[in-house]
Chains A and B, each alone.
Chain A
Amino acid sequence: MSAAVLTAVLVAGGVYLVLQRGLVRVTFGFVLLGHAALVVLLAAGGMDRREPPLLAGGGAELAADPLPQAFALTAIVIAFGITVYLLAMAGSGGELDGAASDADEDEIDAASVGEADDGSSAATQTASTAASEEAATTPGEYPR
C-alpha cells in the first residue's frame, strides 16, 4: 500500500512538472517519474520480504529479491546520465524555453523580447556542465 501511495504521489508530481515549460522543470519531472518507476520495480520483488540474503539472513523465504534491486541500480545509472544530458541541453538552448505561460499574452511578449526567466536561470545552474555547449552556440543569435 505504501508503495502504491508513493508511486501515485511521485507520478502526480512528475507529470505536473513535465507539463511545465522550461527544460529544467521538465528534467526534475523526469527525475520524479524515474523514481516512481524504481519504486514499482522494488515493489515487484515483494514488499514483505526484506531480510538480507547472506550473513544475518532468516533463510531464503525472508530474503529480499535481489533481481529488482539489480534492475533498479541499472535504471538509476541510466537515468542519471540522461538527467545530466537534459540539464546540459537546458543550459545550452535556454532561449528555446519560450514564455512561462500561455495564459498571459503580455507576459509572452515580454519574455520573448528579453530572455525567458527559465532560460537564464537554467544557464547559470548548469553553467559548469554545459560550458562546452555554451561555447559552441551563441544564444540569442536567433531572434524569436
Chain B
Amino acid sequence: MSDLLPAVIWLPLLMAAATAALPRATVLQRVLALTTHATVLAFGIAAVVATRDGSVIVEQVAGWPGGVSIPFAVDTFAALLITVGALLVLVCSVFAILTRDDADAAFHPLVLVLSAGVYGAFVTADLFNLFVMIEVALISSYVLLTRSGRAPQLGAGRVYLTTNLLVSTILLFGIGLVYATAGTVNLGELAGAAKDSTAVALAGGVVLVALAAKAALVPVHSWLPRSYPFASVAVTALLSGLLTKIGVYWIFRIYSVMYGGDERLQTAWLWILGATMVVGVLGALGEGGMRAILSFHMTSQVGYILLGIGFFGPIALAAGIFYLIHHIIVKAALFLACGALEHQAGTGQLSRLGGAARHSPLLAVTFLGAALSLVGIPPFSGFVAKLTLLRAAVLESEYLVAGLVVAVSLFTLLSMLKIWNGAFWGPDPVPVRASAMVDGEAGIVPDATDPTSDLLRHHEMLQAPDPLRVPWRLVVPGTVLMLLSLAIGLGAEVLLTLAQTAADGLVDPARWVAAVTS
C-alpha cells in the first residue's frame, strides 16, 4: 500500500501529459481522465479501509531515511479527503463532459494536474513540499478560470491570481522563517515545536495566516466571492471543493502537530471563526447571483468546519472533520444544481430567473435536498454535522458559540430560500433583456458582477425552446451528490466513526509523528 502512495501524484500527472498529447482524440481524453479519477477514488477507499484503525501509511520517497526524505503519509483524515476529493473530481468531470466544457482540449489535462496537486497536498508531510503542491494545483486553476478569455473571467482572474500569488509568497516567507527558527520543514520533526518555542510559533503563525487566506477566513476572505463564480460551472464546483480545503486541512494538521492544540489561542480562534460564520452568511444574503450566493456561503461554512480547531477536543474535531466531508459533497451538489440551470438559462442572476421548479422538477428536488442539507435539516448529513458541532460547543460550555451556530443556520436557510424563491418558485421570467442583448445595441454594458453577462451573445443559448427545462442528464451529477448526502445522514454512524478515528489522530498525533519520522 505504501509503495502506491506516490501514485496519487504521478498517475494524474502522467495522464495529464498523455491527454495533453492527444488534443484531438476527445473520446480517448475523456476515457483516460475518468479512468484516472476512478482509480484514485478506488485507492482512496482502500486507504480509508486500511487506516480505519488509526494506523498511518507512510512512504519515505526514494527510500531515504526518515528526516532526510520527503515523507508522504496518509492517516484516516487524509484518506477521507482523498476519497471525497477524487469523487468530486470524477463527478465534476462528468458534468463538464455533459456541458461540453471540455470542448477546450486543455480542460482534462488541467483538471488532472489540479487534482494531482490537491492529492499531493493531502498526502505530503513536508511544509515546502506542501508549498510546491499548492502551486501545482493553483497554476492549473489560474488557467481553468481564465481560459475562456472573456472580459468577466479575465477580471476575476486578476483578483484570483494576484491574491493567491501574494498569499503563496507569504506562505514561502513563513516556511523560510520556520526553517530558520526550527531547522527543519518536516512536519513530523516539528511536532510540538511551536508549543515550546515562541519564535517557532510566530514563524508557524505566518504559515497559518497564509493557509487561512487560502481557506478564505474572515478578514482575508473577500477574494473568493469575487473570483469563484466567474469560472465555468464545473470548474467552480471543483475549485470550491478542493482548493480552499487544502488550507482547511493544513490548518487542522499544523495546529494539531506543530502547536499541539495550544489552548492559549482558543479565544482568538473562536473570534475569527465566529466572525467568519457571520460575515460569510450576511455576505451571501446580499448577493444577487446563484453562484455568488453559494461562494460567499463557503466562507461561512469554513468557519463551522474550523470550530473543531477552536475547541480542540476529540468530539469537536470529529464534528469538524465530519462537517468538512459533508460540506465538500453538499456544496458541489448545490453548485452543480444551480450551474445546470445557469448553463441552460444563460444567466445566474435571480432577478432574471423564476419558475424553474415547474419546468424541471428533478432539478428542484436536487437543489432543495442539498439546500436543506446545508442548512442542517434531518435526515440529511448537514443535520448530523451541525448537531455534533453543537454538542461539542455545549460540552465546552461555549454557549455564545452554540447560539451562533444555530443563528447562522437560520440565515443560511434565508439565503437558500432566496435562491429558491428567485430561481425555482414564482412566475417565469420576462424575456425582455435577452432580445435587447442579442440585437447588440451599443449602449448596453454587460454587468461586471454577473459571470454570465456575456453568455447571451452566444446564439445557441437562445435556441433552446424552453430555457428553464434542464435536461435530466445535466441534473444527474448533482442528484448523485445530494443522494450521497442523504445516505451519509441516514447512515451517519459509519462516517462519524471514521471522523472520530481521524480526530483522535489529531488530538494525539504521536502515531502520525512516529510514522513520518521513522
- Contact-residue size bin, chain B (C-beta under 8 Å from the other chain): 20 to 34
In the assembled complex, the Cα of A137 lies from the Cα of B149 at a distance in Å of: 6
Is B169 touching A23 in the complex (CB atoms < 8 A)?
Answer: no
With A33-B169, A37-B172 as contacts: A68 and B151 at CB distance below 8 Å: no
Return the chain A residue nearest B445 by Cβ.
Answer: A143
Return the chain A residue nearest B134 by Cβ.
Answer: A78
Is A34 touching B169 in the complex (CB atoms < 8 A)?
Answer: yes
Query: Main secondary structure on chain B at its contact with chain A?
Result: helix
With A33-B169, A133-B149, A137-B151 as contacts: A93 and B158 at CB distance below 8 Å: yes
- Contact-residue size bin, chain A (C-beta under 8 Å from the other chain): 35 or more
In the assembled complex, the Cα of A143 lies from the Cα of B132 at a distance in Å of: 40
How close is A74's CB to chain B, nearest CB, in angstroms? 6
With A67-B179, A142-B445 as contacts: A86 and B173 at CB distance below 8 Å: no
- Cβ-neighbour of B150 out of A40, A45, A137 (below 8 A): A137
Return the chain B residue nearest A41 by Cβ.
Answer: B176
- Cβ-neighbour of A40 out of B128, B151, B157, B176 (below 8 A): B176
User: Is B438 an interface residue, CB under 8 A from the partner?
Assistant: no
List which B406-445 residues lie within 8 A (CB) of chain A.
442, 445
How close is B500's CB to chain A, nearest CB, in angstroms? 37
Is B158 touching A89 in the complex (CB atoms < 8 A)?
Answer: yes
User: Is B162 an interface residue, CB under 8 A from the partner?
Assistant: yes
For B445, list chain A residues within 8 Å (CB). 142-144
Is B154 touching A93 in the complex (CB atoms < 8 A)?
Answer: yes
With A18-B166, A137-B150 as contacts: A37 and B173 at CB distance below 8 Å: yes
Is B151 touching A96 in the complex (CB atoms < 8 A)?
Answer: yes
Is A78 touching B154 in the complex (CB atoms < 8 A)?
Answer: no
User: Is A82 an interface residue, CB under 8 A from the partner?
Assistant: yes
In the assembled complex, the Cα of A41 lies from the Cα of B177 at a distance in Å of: 7
For A131, list chain B residues within 8 Å (CB). none
User: Is A16 an interface residue, CB under 8 A from the partner?
Assistant: no
For B165, list chain A residues within 8 Å (CB). 30, 82, 86
- Cβ-neighbour of A43 out of B150, B169, B180 (below 8 A): B180
- Cβ-neighbour of B154 out of A81, A82, A137 (below 8 A): A137
Is B161 touching A89 in the complex (CB atoms < 8 A)?
Answer: yes
User: Is B467 an interface residue, CB under 8 A from the partner?
Assistant: no
User: Is B142 an interface residue, CB under 8 A from the partner?
Assistant: yes
Binary CB contact string for chain A from 40 to 59 against chain B (1 if under 8 A, 0 otherwise): 11011100000000000000
Chain A interface (Cβ < 8 Å from any Cβ of B): 18, 23, 26, 30, 33-34, 36-37, 40-41, 43-45, 67-68, 71, 74-75, 78, 81-82, 85-86, 89, 92-93, 95-96, 133, 136-137, 141-144
Chain B interface (Cβ < 8 Å from any Cβ of A): 128, 131-132, 135, 139, 142-143, 146, 149-151, 154-155, 157-158, 161-162, 165-166, 169, 172-173, 175-177, 179-180, 442, 445-446, 454
